[in-house]
């Protein structure tokens, strides 16, 4: 198991490198890059300086390597330095400069240990991400949790009473939840509950901090709509998987054995069937985590939540390439990471799976 | 069956509708005073769904938008299925290509698709629109982008089927009479993978329509004079307080289309794959 884990971890490195290269290439090969959008009235020497300041004058591969170094080494160094207070950055900068000089075959190249800077706001991209991530995590995390909690009972009961009215209703509900796009459900909910009834605010207030009962109530009220939208969407998918997984297990021999020895129905379903049918569901839940971050881009746009998806859209609208590259790559890292987690979980939970 | 009826009705609505309801969806009254009077009209006999903030007829726009939405779904699905089937057959049939093609599929599955689509739209929309015209250029870009990012599930299914089919006796027979690989694939393999491809294609249409409307909803889709249902919804959100029906109609149309297409896909899967019948 441990060997397998190490092997998968090592295999993830080339995948991530390839993905980061693809993202870099897409952004770089685009004909409409912001470098061409400097006004013509800017004198040539100033233009040259602007391009140099953005680091856009070097060949593509060099910029890619610099970006990789910044993402993996400099940013990690800063994270450690901020956490522990050690002077990590000063210690590793000369080594990185040596690497860059070797790669470029030049003795004069200066690598200053610069972090990835957003072109739009001139602050490090990771600082922006650090500010935005809590909002996304609160909304998305709560929604996913509630979604799973709704989906499991529905899936189990509709499998147990297959073809009953509950099952038909549940299947229809999951089909609707799966098909109706979140930007439509979100806006309908806003229309009904925020505009017509006025129960909830339409806009998510990021500055709100929970200090007492009143602010907690306001917090719950502003969370209600986005969480409902995302939770319904997630529940739809997970409940279908739960249902088919439970159905598969209900036909197994061990269920008949358990019933034959006189075990109560509740114990058969909840103790025997459930434990076995949750194995694929757990992996589906793990695999779904990165997707809901993607889905949160839309939800954040509907409810004006100032999260990481909104940061991405904002950066895209002003062609802030470093932010776009970094945030997109973080999404890719999430996908690879949760694929790995899903595989490992499957191996731990299901003793029939042997990886080595 | 209900799903097929609903989808049929929607298709008739967008295809035949404009032949009966002959109002140009982009017609703006040239006389400014008259145009102002025509703005934001509630539903009436002259305009059954009312008019928008520029006095354009909403019913005509809905029909036109539906045409574009469905066209995007269909063409993007064809692109995705073409790539997916090609990759799947190659990977399943030629063992030498299997490893590299499946790695490629895995790589695409690990890409963050929605952010990448947004980046593609942001970077390529204006240049492509300049060279090919804003309507055709955007259409081509969206269709290709969605197609290139959604072929993976089809290729996996096809590969699995081809791996099994390859060992069948009739393929062996075909090979033993000296049929070249190309003929074996075209005559014997492809017709037999048709049913999973059909299911993947149906579900692919639904996915493509949703993706297109998400792009339009985020403001990175079609231009306003070439509306899709997603774009109409996006335009309607600004005035959801005063004119909620402008959000409801396009949203309802998207939802019904996707829902019925998904139901048809599910039905097809049950009908074509006897192993999972009765689940």
Q: Residue A267 and residue A258: Cα distance in Å, rounded?
A: 9
Buried b (16+ CB within 10 A) or exposed e, A206-233: beeeeeeeeeeeebeebbbbbbbbbbbb
CATH of domain B77-278: 1.10.3720.10
Average pLDDT over residues B134-162: 87
Does the pLDDT value for residue A276 go beyond 70? yes
B210 has a chain A CB within 8 A of its CB: yes
Do A75 and A196 lie in one domain? The reply is no
A188 has a chain B CB within 8 A of its CB: yes
pLDDT at A30: 65
pLDDT at B47: 65
Cβ neighbours, 10 Å, residue A103: 14
Helix (H, G, I), strand (E, B) or coil at A39: coil
* Residue of B217, B240, B258 lying closest to A191 (CB–CB): B240
Question: Of the ranges A42-46, A67-71, B134-138, B164-168, which is most confident?
Answer: B164-168
A252 has a chain B CB within 8 A of its CB: no
pLDDT at A97: 74
Q: Which helix (DSSP H) or strand (DSSP E) does residue B14 occupy? A: helix B2-15
Over residues A161-179, the pLDDT tens digits come to 888 888 888 888 888 888 8
Does the pLDDT value for residue A25 go beyond 70? yes
Which chain A residues have a beta carbon less than 8 Å from that of B112? 290, 294, 328, 331-332, 334-335
Average pLDDT over residues B41-46: 66
Chain A residue with Cα closest to B255: A180
Chain B residue with Cα closest to A195: B241
pLDDT higher at B248 or B54:
B248
Query: How far, in Å, are A43, A47, A50, A52, A316 from residue A39 at the CA level?
Result: 9, 9, 12, 16, 20
CA distance A180 to chain B (A): 5
Average pLDDT over residues A185-202: 80
Tell me the percentage of chain B whose pLDDT exceeds 70. Answer: 83
Cβ neighbours, 10 Å, residue B61: 25
Q: Residue A301 and residue B186: Cα distance in Å, rounded?
A: 47
pLDDT at A53: 66
pLDDT higher at B126 or B258:
B258
Which value, to the nearest 10 degrees, does the dihedral of the CA atoms of residues A24, A28, A32, A35 take? 110
Across the interface, do A297 and B115 touch by the CB < 8 Å criterion?
yes
Do A152 and A293 lie in one domain? The reply is yes
Average pLDDT over residues A221-241: 85
Do A138 and A69 lie in one domain? The reply is no
Over residues A82-131, the pLDDT tens digits come to 777 776 777 777 777 777 777 766 666 666 667 777 777 778 888 888 88
pLDDT at B132: 78
pLDDT at B279: 43
**Cut 0.90: pTM above it:** no
Q: Residue A181 and residue B258: Cα distance in Å, rounded?
A: 9
B124 has a chain A CB within 8 A of its CB: yes
Average pLDDT over residues A320-324: 82
In the structure, what pLDDT confidence band is assigned to residue B86 with cuts at 50, 70 and 90? very high
Q: Residue A246 and residue A160: Cα distance in Å, rounded?
A: 8
Average pLDDT over residues B174-201: 87
B23 has a chain A CB within 8 A of its CB: no
Average pLDDT over residues B65-84: 89
Tokens standing for residue A87: 């002077």
The closest of B2, B114, B150, B274 to A175, measured between CA atoms, is B2
Question: Of the ranges A20-29, B155-164, B242-251, which is most confident?
Answer: B155-164
Q: Is A266 exposed, middle or buried (0-12, 13-18, 19+ CB in 10 A)?
A: exposed
Calculate the average pLDDT of chain B: 81
Q: What is the CA radius of gyration of chain A?
A: 25
Across the interface, do A22 and B237 touch by the CB < 8 Å criterion?
no
* Residue of A30, A327, A336 lying closest to B110 (CB–CB): A336
Residue A97 belongs to some domain of the structure = yes
Residue A8 belongs to some domain of the structure = no
Residue A114 belongs to some domain of the structure = no
Do A144 and A209 lie in one domain? The reply is yes
Chain B residue with Cα closest to A159: B279
Calculate the average pLDDT of chain A: 80
Residue A356 belongs to some domain of the structure = no
The closest of B78, B76, B88, B81 to B155, measured between CA atoms, is B88
Q: What is the CA radius of gyration of chain B?
A: 22
Beta-carbon contacts of A86 under 8 Å, excluding residues fewer than 6 positions away, are: A80
pLDDT at B278: 46
Do A200 and A307 lie in one domain? The reply is yes
Q: Residue A185 is part of a domain; what is its CATH number? A: 1.10.3720.10
Angle between the A274-303 and A321-349 helix axes, to the nearest 10 degrees? 170
Beta-carbon contacts of B248 under 8 Å, excluding residues fewer than 6 positions away, are: A188, A191
Residue B19, phi-psi category: left (phi > 0), alpha (psi -120 to 50), beta (remainder): alpha
Buried b (16+ CB within 10 A) or exposed e, A40-66: eeeeeeeeeeeeeeeeeeeeeeeebbb
Terminal alpha carbon distance of chain B: 19
Average pLDDT over residues A141-145: 87
Across the interface, do B214 and A15 touch by the CB < 8 Å criterion?
no
Do A172 and A315 lie in one domain? The reply is yes
Ordered by start, the domain boundaries in chain B are 77-278
Tokens standing for residue B170: 């009739």
- Domain containing A228 equals 125-349
> Lowest mean pLDDT: which of A102-106, B2-6, B27-31, B110-114?
B27-31
pLDDT at A264: 83
Tokens standing for residue A249: 């297990």
pLDDT higher at A212 or B191:
B191
* Residue of A181, A301, A313 lying closest to B210 (CB–CB): A181
Over residues A202-229, the pLDDT tens digits come to 777 766 777 777 777 777 787 888 888 8
Residue A116 belongs to some domain of the structure = no
> Lowest mean pLDDT: which of A278-292, B46-60, B68-82?
B46-60
Chain A residue with Cα closest to B253: A180
Tell me the percentage of chain A whose pLDDT exceeds 90. Answer: 0
Tell me the percentage of chain A whose pLDDT exceeds 70. Answer: 89
Which chain A residues have a beta carbon less than 8 Å from that of B115? 294, 297, 312, 324, 327-328, 331
Which value, to the nearest 10 degrees, does the dihedral of the CA atoms of residues A98, A99, A101, A104 take? 180
pLDDT higher at A62 or A249:
A249
Across the interface, do A294 and B114 touch by the CB < 8 Å criterion?
yes
Here the ipTM equals: 0.79
Do A95 and A139 lie in one domain? The reply is no
The closest of B269, B259, B270 to B9, measured between CA atoms, is B259
> H helices then E strands: how many in chain B?
13, 0
Does the pLDDT value for residue B38 go beyond 80? no
């Amino acid at each position: 198991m441990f060997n397998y884990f190490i092997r998968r971890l090592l295999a993830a490195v080339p995948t991530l490198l390839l993905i980061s290269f693809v993202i870099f290439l897409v952004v770089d090969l685009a004909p409409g890059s912001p470098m061409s959008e400097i006004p013509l009235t800017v004198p040539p020497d100033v233009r040259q300086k602007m391009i140099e300041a953005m680091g856009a004058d070097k060949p593509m591969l060099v910029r890619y390597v610099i970006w990789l170094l910044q993402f993996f080494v400099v940013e990690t160094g800063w994270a450690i330095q901020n956490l522990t207070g050690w002077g990590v950055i000063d210690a590793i900068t000369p080594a990185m400069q040596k690497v860059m000089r070797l790669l470029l075959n030049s003795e004069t190249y200066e690598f200053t240990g610069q972090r990835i800077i957003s072109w739009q706001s001139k602050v490090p991209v990771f600082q922006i991400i650090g500010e935005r991530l809590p909002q996304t995590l609160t909304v998305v995390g709560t929604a996913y949790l509630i979604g799973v909690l709704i989906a499991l009972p529905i899936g189990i009961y509709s499998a147990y009473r297959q073809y009953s009215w509950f099952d038909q209703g549940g299947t229809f509900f999951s089909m609707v939840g799966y098909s109706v796009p979140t930007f439509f459900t979100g806006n309908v909910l806003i229309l009904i509950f925020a505009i017509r009834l006025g129960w909830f605010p339409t806009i998510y207030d990021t500055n709100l901090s929970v200090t007492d009962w009143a602010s907690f109530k306001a917090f719950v009220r502003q969370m209600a709509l986005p969480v409902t939208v995302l939770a319904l969407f997630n529940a739809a998918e997970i409940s279908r998987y739960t249902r088919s997984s439970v159905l598969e297990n209900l036909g197994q021999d061990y269920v008949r054995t358990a019933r034959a020895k006189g075990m109560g129905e509740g114990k058969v379903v909840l103790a025997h069937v459930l434990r076995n049918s949750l194995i694929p569901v757990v992996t589906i839940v793990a695999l779904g985590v990165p997707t809901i971050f993607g889905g949160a881009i839309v939800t954040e746009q509907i409810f004006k939540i100032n999260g990481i998806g909104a940061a991405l859209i904002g950066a895209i609208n002003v062609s802030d390439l470093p932010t776009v590259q970094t945030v997109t790559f973080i999404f890719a890292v999430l996908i690879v990471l949760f694929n790995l987690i899903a595989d490992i979980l499957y191996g731990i939970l299901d003793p029939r799976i042997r990886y080595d | 069956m209900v799903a097929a009826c609903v989808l049929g009705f929607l298709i008739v609505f967008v295809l035949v509708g404009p032949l009966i309801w002959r109002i140009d969806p982009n017609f703006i009254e040239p006389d400014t005073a008259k145009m102002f009077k025509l703005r934001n009209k509630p539903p009436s006999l002259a305009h059954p769904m009312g008019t928008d903030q520029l006095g354009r007829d909403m019913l005509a726009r809905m029909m036109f938008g539906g045409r574009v939405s469905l066209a995007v779904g269909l063409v993007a699905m064809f692109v995705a299925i073409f790539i997916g089937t090609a990759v799947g057959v190659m990977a399943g049939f030629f063992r030498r290509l299997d490893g590299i093609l499946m790695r490629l599929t895995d790589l695409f599955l690990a890409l963050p698709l929605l952010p990448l689509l947004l980046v593609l739209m942001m970077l390529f929309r204006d240049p492509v629109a300049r060279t090919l015209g804003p309507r055709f250029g955007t259409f081509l870009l969206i269709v290709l982008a969605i197609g290139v990012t959604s072929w993976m599930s089809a290729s996996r299914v096809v590969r699995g089927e081809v791996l099994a089919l390859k060992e069948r006796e009739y393929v062996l027979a075909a090979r033993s009479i000296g049929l070249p690989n190309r003929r074996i694939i075209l005559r014997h393999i492809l017709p037999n993978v048709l049913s999973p491809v059909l299911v993947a294609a149906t579900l692919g249409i639904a996915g493509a329509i949703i993706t297109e409307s998400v792009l339009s909803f985020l403001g990175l889709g079609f231009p306003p004079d070439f509306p899709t249902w997603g774009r109409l919804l996006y335009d309607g959100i600004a005035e959801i307080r005063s004119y909620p029906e402008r959000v409801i109609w396009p949203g309802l149309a998207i939802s019904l289309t996707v829902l019925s297409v998904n139901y048809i896909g599910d039905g097809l899967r049950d009908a074509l794959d006897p192993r999972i019948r009765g689940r």
